[in-house]
Amino acid sequence: MDIFLQLALSGLLLGGIYGLLSLGLTLVFGVTRIVNFAHGEFVMLGMYLSYFLWQLGFDPYLTAPVAFFVCLAVGVVTQHFVLRRTLTMPHFVQVFVTIGISVVMQSAAQLLFTSDFYFVRPSYGNAIVKLGTARLPLTMVIAAALAFVGTALVHLFLKKTHIGAAIRATAQDPYAANVVGIDIKKVYAVTFGVGIGCAGLAGALLAPIYPVYPTVGLAYSLISFVVVVLGGLGSLPGALLGGLVVGLLETFSAYYVSPEAKEATYFTIFILVLLLRPAGLFGLRGSETMGANH
């Protein structure tokens, strides 16, 4: 029972971070219909920002909002100068463009920072939190708490602000939104910026837990795709629930089967969901073409 509680809590904490990690990917897809294969590289950018801010003497978690806003700005610029031009092009063009962005960012990171692994080690990095009989790393608890707060803030932004209402209207029907006077280009730029900001924030939260290196984003891209497909394409609540499911699958399969089997476990689920319910467990059938489950 003790080990079950330990694994369950560890999986839920990890899943909370995965939920925020995938939130940006599903938000961008739900509104712009772009599948961003460079999503993990923006997570990598957030991790490097956290590392260098920590090197300057700042706490990695207190400066996590900096990673969010820097990545938001990078996302707006990327959408304006690159992806905006692909919106009316076939989907394969968008796929190749985002893969190209991914390769460029990885190469730039290797050129600037080499292939060395970097580590963020705050003074409380080895502290443990006791929850009942479970013992959890303090860094994981803080990261998960901030991830849940970040997810809630994005939800409130979409529900309570004027631009959030415009984003939801555009996700449901971009043509109707344009007819009633919504600036679609602005909505797409803000949506992509917020999505990339979420990726950067997740990266900043992961940096004190996992090493930072140029190709680290690939693993997080794959996890994000699994979470988004599992939770429901274009569904924000589905991203959080899918993240929790993947986090639990990862921790339990790593313990009861093998650490090497955890990826195989959730990718098996990924394939089954694609075959049996392409819109995801928590999405509506057809949402993969509508992109509107907010």
When the pLDDT of each residue in the chain is averaged and rounded to a whole number, the result is 89
**What pLDDT score does 263 carry?**
79
What is the H or E stretch that residue 128 is in? strand 128-131
The pLDDT score that the predictor gives to residue 200 is 96
pTM over cut 0.95: no
pLDDT score at 289: 53
Beta bridge partners of 128: 137
**197-229 residue pLDDT tens:** 999 999 999 999 999 999 999 989 988 988 888
Residue at token pair 């004190």: 208
Our measurement of the distance from residue 170's CA atom to the centroid of its chain's CA atoms, rounded to an integer in Å, reads 21
Structure tokens at 191: 């949506």
Structure tokens, 77: 């610029």
pLDDT digits (tens, 9 = 90+) for 12-27: 999 999 999 899 998 9
Residue 108: pLDDT band (50, 70, 90) is very high
pLDDT score, position 194 = 96
CB-count burial class (<10 Å; 0-12, 13-18, 19+) for 259: exposed
pLDDT in tens, 131-169: 888 899 999 999 999 999 999 999 999 999 999 999 999
CA dist list (Å): 124 to 8, 97, 118, 243? 23, 41, 18, 26
d(CA 181, CA 165): 13
Q: Pick the residue with more confidence: 293 or 52?
A: 52
CA 290 to chain centre: 21
Q: Which of 34-43, 45-54, 179-188, 236-245 has the lowest mean pLDDT?
A: 236-245
With pLDDT > 90 as the criterion, what percentage of the chain qualifies? 57
Task: Select the more confidently predicted residue: 255 or 274.
Answer: 255
